[in-house]
Amino acid sequence: MQLIKTLVVDDSAFVRKVIGEILAANPFIEVVGFARNGEQALALAETLKPDVITCDLNMPELDGVNFVKRQFARRPVPIVILTASPQDTEQVIEALAAGAVGFVRKPTALATDALRAVREELIEKIKGAAAASFPGVPAAGLAPPVVRKSAHMARNIDIVVLGISTGGPQALRHLLPQFARDFPVPLVLVQHMPPGYTAPFAEKLAGISQLAVKEAHAGCLVSPQQALLAPAGKHLSFKRDLAGQIRVHLSRTPAGTPHKPSVNVLFQSAAEIYGRRVLGVVMTGMGNDGTEGAAWIKAQGGTILTESEESCIIYGMPRCVVESGMSDGEVTLASMAEEINNRL
């Protein structure tokens, strides 16, 4: 395996030192430089050409969010954000939407042992980030056209369920605004995120979408013209109430899944409740969450779309579905909204 050239950016000399030691001890990572703020990091990124950048969120002169924006305007590089404050949620989401591929929560007590406690997570994020590419990221600031489908037309699909992970915040900011206000079926999403981030992310999406986007809560009605985002830390499934209406069910079980919420759990429940009238969509992300769920949908006669490698930040989750022979169509991010509407 080729060494992952990594640039470490943090305004604290102590944090730079400890993170440098953590990464240098890994046989797959080479620390090629250190920067104390975003301005210095921009210059070093030009000369050192790192494969991955770890970047503190709060820094003088140029903070993490604006560093991500300026670096992506020059040359997209996989960036892992480091944040120490729970109050930084909105900034983290903004950095992810700007192009950062992940983030790691630093311990609040910046002692050597505490920082080393995040060693495995940080190294895992860097290795995952090194596999990222940015071939089809839509240009920032361009509002995509709204794709319309009449709510009164005959439908083949009663629900769209979508699973996404690394690269998701960028992709969803492009995708959701393309759906018209009268989108005729419910849209339910799993975006892999830690607890505390899905509610503000849903609010951000709601601000740019015609759909009613919100974080799902237990018992909420699953209805057209809205997009429900599964809350982090819980699995989302569906239940019929006594009146026959379909509502959200949230649970912490099954406990053995790598992700909570799980795309597999969402897809399986959709297949059980809606049968063949399910459209499952698997988009950019690491790992294979969604493959087992796609099998449940296909077994009921439903349809699966996957984001094509051409536009994925990480072609992991979609690749597993495609290689399992369950994709009914590979679609770029730019064409995904139109294809979803066509499949309805």
Catalytic residue among 51, 56, 165, 209: 165
Cis geometry, peptide bond prior to residue 261 (ω within 30 degrees of 0): yes
Q: Which whole number is the average pLDDT over 228-249?
A: 97
Q: What is the pLDDT of residue 87?
A: 82
Q: What is the pLDDT of residue 111?
A: 63
Catalytic residue among 10, 51, 63, 289: 289
- % of the chain residues with pLDDT over 70: 92
Q: What is the pLDDT of residue 155?
A: 67
- Whether residue 165 lies in the annotated active site: yes
Numbered ranges of CATH 3.40.50.2300 in the chain:
4-130
Is the confidence at residue 114, as pLDDT, over 80?
no
pTM for the predicted model, two decimal places: 0.91
Higher-pLDDT residue of 171, 85: 171
Question: What pLDDT band is residue 150 in, cutting at 50, 70 and 90?
Answer: very low
pLDDT digits (tens, 9 = 90+) for 29-79: 999 999 999 999 999 999 999 999 999 999 999 999 999 999 999 999 999
Q: What is the pLDDT of residue 141?
A: 43
Q: How many residues does the structure list for the chain?
A: 344
Is the confidence at residue 2, as pLDDT, over 90?
no
Is the confidence at residue 314, as pLDDT, over 70?
yes
Is the confidence at residue 306, as pLDDT, over 80?
yes
Is the confidence at residue 115, as pLDDT, over 80?
no
The CATH H-level (homologous superfamily) assignment of domain 4-130 is Response regulator (3.40.50.2300)
- Whether residue 289 lies in the annotated active site: yes
Exposure string over 20-50, b if 16+ CB within 10 A, otherwise e: bebbeebeebebbbbbbbbbbbbebbeebeb
Question: What pLDDT band is residue 183 in, cutting at 50, 70 and 90?
Answer: very high
Q: Which whole number is the average pLDDT over 209-229?
A: 97
Is the confidence at residue 135, as pLDDT, over 90?
no
Catalytic residue among 56, 63, 158, 192: 192
Numbered ranges of CATH 3.40.50.180 in the chain:
159-343
pLDDT digits (tens, 9 = 90+) for 320-336: 999 999 999 999 999 99
CA terminus-to-terminus distance, the chain: 44
**CATH assignment of 159-343, given 3.40.50.1980, 2.40.10.220, 3.10.580.10, 3.40.50.180?**
3.40.50.180
Question: What pLDDT band is residue 94 in, cutting at 50, 70 and 90?
Answer: very high
